[in-house]
Amino acid sequence: MKPGPKKKPTHLRLLEGNPSGRPINEAEPVCDLPPFKPPFVAADAVASAEWDRVIAAMPPGLYTALDTATLAAYALAWSMLDQAQRAIAADGLTIGTARGRISHPAVRVWKQSADTLAKCADRLGLHPGARSSLNIPSRSDKPSKFAGLIGRRTN
């Protein structure tokens, strides 16, 4: 693993206005296919609703089919967090056993789900720090007359 901060996806760097000033990889592969909701996400009502919420909340075209796995992990982690929270709310943080009270097993699931959510949110640009640095062009902006000259669409 390389030292230093993790690389941000190019589409997020472009939305942020490339604050680092580092060169943009113009030859980076671009996927034009939209993300698709996997059947196992669609089968889970909570995960499916979270998938739809995230897709609707972010700018159109920000996510592609290449983001499907991360979006699915995020949505499923949200569903697991929801299930764990409901179990904790119903039973409490501890449960009684023959040997006494122990931490509810849902507490561990809750923590793991929250960790997964945070990691996926970081990769998808969903945390507040990522959103505050995005500079999304208004929908009324016309594409630049120079769009496509260097192999990338600007709008």
Lowest mean pLDDT among 42-51, 107-116, 129-138: 129-138
pLDDT for 142 equals: 52
Q: How far is CA 148 from CA 11, 30, 74, 152, in A?
A: 16, 13, 33, 5
Under a CB-based contact definition with an 8 Å cutoff, are residues 79 and 117 in contact?
A: no
Q: How far is Cα 84 from Cα 77, in angstroms, rounded to an integer?
A: 10
pLDDT for 133 equals: 61
Hey, how many other C-beta atoms are within 10 angstroms of the C-beta on 61?
Answer: 11
What DSSP string describes 40-81? HHHTSHHHHHHHHHHHHHSPTTSS-GGGHHHHHHHHHHHHHH
pLDDT for 139 equals: 44
% of the chain surpassing 70 pLDDT: 75
pLDDT: which is higher, 47 or 123: 47
The mean pLDDT of 96-110, rounded to a whole number, is 88
Q: What are the residue ranges spanned by the domains of the chain? A: 1-30+128-155, 34-124
Q: Which of 81-85, 93-97, 133-137 has the highest mean pLDDT?
A: 81-85
Q: Is the pLDDT of residue 99 over 70?
A: yes
The mean pLDDT of 49-73, rounded to a whole number, is 91
Whole-prediction pTM = 0.70
Q: How far is CA 106 from CA 23, 80, 85, 86, 90, in A?
A: 46, 9, 7, 9, 11
